Amino acid sequence: MPLRVYYEDTDAAGIVYYANWLRFLERGRTELLRLLGQQHTALREERGVNWVVRRCAIDYLKPARLDDTIEIVTSCGELRGASLDMLQHARRGEEILVRAELVVACMGEGGRPVRLPPLVRTALAQVAVNGSPRSRHIRIQPS
């Protein structure tokens, strides 16, 4: 997903403020679901499924600056019953700027975990990284 860095995304030095990367990554996950035909609104309204981030680890490797064009790349790691690993990185051209590893869980309306719906599991399996380790501390180098 391509993004342009705007003035509002930067700090006083003109570098993307660290917390704004979370917003960029969220957009990447949302757009991935949309591209796979699985929209947040429909999942919530039709199946009672809400997505929550249970864990997030981010490595800030290099800065992005005002007016840069960056790309958010999102894939899946392990798909479990009610949760999955999301693997994301932000790049400027081939240069990796940020790498993130998340555990995302499906929650029902009452706040309890619910299983990934079969259609969502099938769709996400299309973007799963082969050979993803069965670990909460994923270390996969993006291609």
Are 86 and 76 contacting, i.e. CB atoms less than 8 angstroms apart?
Answer: yes
Q: Compute φ and ψ for 104, nearest 5 degrees.
A: -110, 135
Q: Is 106 exposed, middle or buried (0-12, 13-18, 19+ CB in 10 A)?
A: buried
DSSP string, 24-65: HHHHHHHHHHHHTT--HHHHHHHH--EEEEEEEEEEE-S--B
Kindly state the DSSP code that residue 125 receives in the 8-state scheme. Answer: H
Q: Given 9, 11, 67, 68, which residue is catalytic? A: 11
Task: Identify whether 11 is a catalytic site residue.
Answer: yes
Q: Which of 41, 24, 13 is nearest to 97 (CA)?
A: 24
Catalytic residues: 11
